[in-house]
């Protein structure tokens, strides 16, 4: 009720007892009604006075800013360019590999073993399927053995002891145009998904 | 002594320390309340709070270790560069050639180990004494978050020496993130949601698809800035709530000291 009385123009108070202050305007200007509430006859669902509108707009702007900057900060954490070794590499000529041997030539640099059998090649990724350590090839025992938790794999890559839940993964292996072996670590073949028969998982070669 | 008395009456002294040592209830309370470092602590301590047998003092010891870790950590940062080229060498340099370097690093290392232990013992004590019960439920939750932050700090610090142990421990640790539901590329519903090795939660942690130089930098920033900052905020809430939820917990019979 108190603020309504402000809207209605008050009749001028009688001059103060001193009476010395001159009157500026004998009749006060008609005051416009304030627009801090919606007109009574407004039927809309967005019955909103000016103060609410500005408040909502302000908070929406603030919220939008927070959301957009959060999304930006999250995207910032995903780098576009990685400074990691290329996944595709050439591994020399097939004739350089001895039949029946596991080559550790590219293990340190590329984490790949290249195995030559009588009828061809396959490439095993040297990452233990348990928790990602690098197993070792033990020629005496004819098996791969992980030093972290003792997982063991046959020469084919199939697990047979320790905690590893699945066989080692095979990488894509093919012959490049120049006759060298070419290996792509980013294309993998998983035994448990029956992918070891697919072209690329095994390179037939009897040269 | 007379000189000291004179000094206490100077404007310089009085502008810093507002209250004297006069041993009155009011004055003693004011000394705590008006000191930014002491004001988190209650003005009065119930008699049972000094009973080590009940609280073990584990929360306080944990906080003390956090302070030790903060100070020694800052000191270590003066010599340590978080790049693959220098990190291991700087660690060796600290251990072999920097005066008191081994002391600082070992204090940091042992305090870190001890803090994990004391946090767990603190939690164990709170559980045994039933101090997680109303009205302290919320503070238990804050405590659980602080436990996780402590473990994350411990884990991220583990990588920084950048030796074989560190790299493989973190390789193993972050490989578990592959199996995160929804957010990991080998976890349940991860691949269906488009998670690949180069866009899942593990990728964010590592800053790449394998543990490498970006991982070292991420773990360094997380270890030195991000995680301690979050931990300090939660610690402030934790201490505050201890007081707001009825003060330090004590034996049932002595609740009303």
SS3 A161: strand
Angle between helices B213-221 and B164-175 (to 10 degrees): 80
Residues of chain A with Cβ-Cβ distance to B208 below 8 Å are 79, 82-84
| The pLDDT of residue B1 | 77
B126: in domain:
yes
Query: If you measure CA to CA, which chain B residue comes closest to A86?
Result: B209
3-class SS letters over chain B: CHHHHHHHCCHHHHHHCCCCCCCCHHHHHHHHHCCCCCCCCCCCCCHHHHCHHHHCCHHHHHHHHHHHHHHHHHHHHCCCCCCCCCHHHHHHHHHHCCCCHHHHHHHHHHHHHHHHHHHHHHHHHHHHCCCCCCCCHHHHHHHHHHHHHHHHHHHHHHHCCCCHHHHHHHHHHHHHHHHCCCCCCCCCCCHHHCCCCCCCHHHHHHCCCCCCHHHHHHHHHHHHHHHHHHHHHHHHHHHHHHHHCCCCCCCHHHCCC
Query: If you measure CA to CA, which chain A residue comes closest to B201?
Result: A78
Cα atoms in the 13 Å half-sphere on the side-chain side of A35: 7
Q: Is pLDDT at A15 greater than 50 in this prediction?
A: no
Tokens, residue B224: 């030195």
Read off the pLDDT band of B100 (50, 70, 90): very high
Residues of chain A with Cβ-Cβ distance to B203 below 8 Å are 78
Burial A40-57 (b: 16+ CB within 10 A, else e): eeeeeeeeeeeeeeeeee
| The pLDDT of residue A45 | 67
Residues of chain A with Cβ-Cβ distance to B171 below 8 Å are 131-133
Q: Closest approach of chain A CAs to the CA of B152, in angstroms?
A: 18
DSSP bridge partners of A152: A145, A161
B125: in domain:
yes
Residue B94 buriedness (CB in 10 A; 0-12 / 13-18 / 19+): buried
| The pLDDT of residue B74 | 97
| The pLDDT of residue B255 | 52
- Any B CB within 8 A of A132 CB: yes
Mean pLDDT of B30-50: 84
Residues of chain B with Cβ-Cβ distance to A84 below 8 Å are 208-210, 212
Read off the pLDDT band of A4 (50, 70, 90): very low
Residues 6+ apart with CB under 8 A from B247: B42, B46, B49
Beta-carbon separation of B210 and A148 below 8 A: no
- Any B CB within 8 A of A82 CB: yes
- Any B CB within 8 A of A148 CB: yes
Q: Is pLDDT at A33 greater than 90 in this prediction?
A: no
B221: in domain:
yes
Cα atoms in the 13 Å half-sphere on the side-chain side of B30: 11
| The pLDDT of residue B134 | 87
Query: If you measure CA to CA, which chain B residue comes closest to A148?
Result: B168
B89: in domain:
yes
Strand A120-125 to strand A136-138: parallel, antiparallel, or no bridges (unpaired)?
Answer: unpaired
Residues of chain B with Cβ-Cβ distance to A132 below 8 Å are 171-172, 175
Read off the pLDDT band of A113 (50, 70, 90): very high
When divided into structural domains, chain B yields a total of 1
Nearest to B141, CA basis, from B152, B154, B126? B126
Residues 6+ apart with CB under 8 A from A92: A105, A180, A181
Q: Closest approach of chain B CAs to the CA of A70, in angstroms?
A: 15
Burial A101-119 (b: 16+ CB within 10 A, else e): ebbeebbeebbbbbbbbee
Architecture of domain A88-204: 3-layer Sandwich (2.102)
Beta-carbon separation of B208 and A131 below 8 A: no
Read off the pLDDT band of B165 (50, 70, 90): very high
Interface size, chain A vs chain B, as Cβ–Cβ contacts under 8 Å: 31
Residue B229's CATH number: 1.20.810.10
| The pLDDT of residue B48 | 82
Q: What is the mean pLDDT of chain A?
A: 83
Nearest to A122, CA basis, from A101, A142, A136? A101
pLDDT in tens, B170-189: 998 998 999 999 999 988 99
Q: How far is CA A116 from the centre of its chain?
A: 38
Q: How far apart are CA B202 and CA B197, in angstroms?
A: 8
Read off the pLDDT band of A3 (50, 70, 90): very low
| The pLDDT of residue B79 | 96
Lowest mean pLDDT across A28-42, A132-146, B138-152, B209-223:
A28-42
| The pLDDT of residue A188 | 87
Q: How far apart are CA B154 and CA B229, in angstroms?
A: 15
- Tell whether omega for the bond before B135 is within 30 degrees of 0, i.e. cis: yes
Read off the pLDDT band of A5 (50, 70, 90): very low
| The pLDDT of residue B16 | 86
Tokens, residue B177: 């993130």
Q: Closest approach of chain A CAs to the CA of B109, in angstroms?
A: 23
pLDDT in tens, B108-153: 999 999 999 999 999 999 999 999 998 899 999 999 999 999 999 9
| Between residues B80 and A110, the one the model is more confident about | B80
Read off the pLDDT band of B257 (50, 70, 90): very low
Q: What are phi and psi of A103, to 5 degrees?
A: -85, 125
Q: How far is CA A169 from the centre of its chain?
A: 24
Lowest mean pLDDT across A119-123, B35-39, B86-90, B237-241:
B35-39
Mean pLDDT of B94-103: 96
Output the DSSP codes for A39-83.
Answer: -TT---TT---HHHHHHHHHHHHHHHHHHHHHHHHHHHTS-SS--
- Give the start-to-end residue ranges of the domains of chain A: 34-83, 88-204
SS3 A110: helix
Lowest mean pLDDT across A24-28, B174-178, B224-228:
A24-28
B69: in domain:
yes
Expressed in angstroms, the distance from the first to the final Cα of chain B is 39
* Rounded alpha-carbon distances, angstroms, from residue B160 to A95, B81, B155, B219: 44, 10, 10, 8
Q: What percentage of chain A has pLDDT greater than the value 70?
A: 80
pLDDT in tens, B45-96: 888 888 888 889 999 999 999 999 999 999 999 999 999 999 999 999 999 9
Residues of chain A with Cβ-Cβ distance to B176 below 8 Å are 131
B18: in domain:
no
Widest pairwise Cα distance in chain B: 80
Beta-carbon separation of A131 and B171 below 8 A: yes
DSSP 3-state percent helix, strand, coil across chain A (nearest 5): 20, 25, 55
SS3 A87: coil
Beta-carbon separation of B208 and A79 below 8 A: yes
Query: If you measure CA to CA, which chain A residue comes closest to B199?
Result: A78
Q: How far apart are CA A115 and CA A106, in angstroms?
A: 11
């Amino acid at each position: 009720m108190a603020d309504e009385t402000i809207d209605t123009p008050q009749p001028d108070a009688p001059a103060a007892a001193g009476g010395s202050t001159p009157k500026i305007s004998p009749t006060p200007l008609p005051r416009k009604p304030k627009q801090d509430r919606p007109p009574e006859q407004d039927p809309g669902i967005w019955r909103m006075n000016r103060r609410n509108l500005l408040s909502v707009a302000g908070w929406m702007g603030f919220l939008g800013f927070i959301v957009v900057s959060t999304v930006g900060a999250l995207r910032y954490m995903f780098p576009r360019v990685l400074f990691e070794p290329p996944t595709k590499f050439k591994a020399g000529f097939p004739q350089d590999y001895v039949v029946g041997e596991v080559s550790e030539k590219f293990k340190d640099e590329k984490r790949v073993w290249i195995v030559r059998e009588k009828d061809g090649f396959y490439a095993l990724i040297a990452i233990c399927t348990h928790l990602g350590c690098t197993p070792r090839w033990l020629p005496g025992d004819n098996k791969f053995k992980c030093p972290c938790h003792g997982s063991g794999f046959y020469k084919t890559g199939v697990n047979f002891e320790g905690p590893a839940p699945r066989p080692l993964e095979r990488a894509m292996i093919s012959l490049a145009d120049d006759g060298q072996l070419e290996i792509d670590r980013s294309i993998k073949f998983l035994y448990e998904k029956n992918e070891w028969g697919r072209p690329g998982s095994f390179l037939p070669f009897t040269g | 002594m007379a000189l000291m008395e004179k000094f206490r009456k100077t404007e310089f002294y009085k502008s810093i320390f507002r209250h004297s040592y006069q041993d009155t209830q009011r004055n003693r309370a004011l000394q705590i309340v008006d000191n930014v470092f002491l004001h988190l602590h209650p003005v009065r301590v119930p008699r049972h709070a000094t009973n080590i047998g009940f609280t073990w003092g584990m929360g306080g010891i944990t906080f003390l270790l956090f302070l030790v870790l903060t100070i020694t950590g800052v000191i270590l940062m003066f010599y340590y560069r978080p790049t693959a080229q220098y990190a291991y060498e700087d660690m060796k340099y600290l251990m072999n050639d920097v005066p008191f370097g081994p002391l600082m690093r070992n204090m940091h290392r042992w305090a870190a180990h001890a803090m994990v232990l004391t946090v767990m013992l603190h939690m164990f004590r709170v559980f045994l004494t039933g101090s997680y019960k109303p009205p302290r439920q919320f503070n238990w939750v804050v405590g659980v978050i602080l436990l996780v932050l402590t473990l994350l700090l411990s884990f991220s610090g583990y990588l920084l020496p950048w030796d074989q142990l560190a790299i493989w421990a973190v390789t193993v640790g972050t490989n578990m993130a592959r199996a995160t539901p929804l957010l990991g590329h080998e976890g349940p519903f991860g691949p269906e949601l488009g998670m690949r090795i180069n866009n899942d939660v593990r990728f964010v942690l590592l800053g790449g698809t394998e543990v490498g130089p970006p991982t070292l930098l991420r773990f360094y920033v997380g270890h030195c800035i991000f995680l301690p900052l979050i931990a300090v905020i939660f610690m402030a809430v934790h201490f505050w709530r201890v007081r707001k939820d009825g003060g330090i917990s004590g034996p049932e019979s002595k609740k009303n000291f």
